[in-house]
Amino acid sequence: MERRLRITVDGKAYVVTVEELDAGPLAPPPAMVLGATVPQAVAAAPVAAAPAAAHGAGDVVAPLGGTVQSVLVTVGQRVAEGEKLAVLEAMKMNTQISAPRAGQVARVEVRAGQVVETGQLLLVIA
């Protein structure tokens, strides 16, 4: 009997179909049955990357998905090119987010503890 279930991983919901198995003996896979032919492996088609959202020159986006560990600037603060703005944690590694240019922080779109995706807007430098 098949059942549809919703699971949530890192805040993102997925709908999956699962097959419920009884406690009886399992039938062997088709390739194990005497005289059965083994299907040839089929190469998976490449998946096109999602189009990147349009961002302005002062937009600072997440280079990878992860959790915001800290935001080191506030709105109105002046920053120098290369200055550390925030820290993201992904796979037990910290990634420093630096200012791509000098300017003033116009908006901060994230907070510590927030999960972000690749390309998500973190802050804007005017």
Domain hosting 98: range is: 59-125
Chain mean pLDDT for the chain: 80
Long-range CB contacts for residues 58-61, cutoff 8 Å, separation at least 24? 58/100, 58/101, 58/103, 58/106, 58/124, 58/125, 58/126, 59/121, 59/123, 59/124, 59/125, 60/85, 60/97, 60/99, 60/100, 60/121, 60/122, 60/123, 60/124, 60/125, 61/119, 61/120, 61/121, 61/122
Q: What is the pLDDT of residues 25-47, one digit of tens each?
A: 655 555 555 655 555 555 555 54
Does the reported pTM lie above 0.85? no
CATH code: domain of residue 82: 2.40.50.100
Q: Is residue 8 part of a domain?
A: no
Would residue 27 count as lying in a domain?
Answer: no
The proportion of the chain whose per-residue pLDDT surpasses 70, expressed as a percent, equals 71
Count of structural domains, the chain:
1
Please indicate, yes or no, if residue 33 is contained in any of the structural domains: no
Question: In which band, very low, low, confident or very high, does the pLDDT at 18 lie, cut at 50, 70 and 90?
Answer: confident
Query: Is position 54 within any domain?
Result: no
Is residue 99 situated within a structural domain?
A: yes
Q: For residue 18, is it within any domain?
A: no
- The answer to whether residue 2 is domain-embedded is no
User: How does pLDDT run across 69-110, given as a tens digit for each residue?
Assistant: 999 999 999 999 999 999 999 988 999 999 999 999 999 999
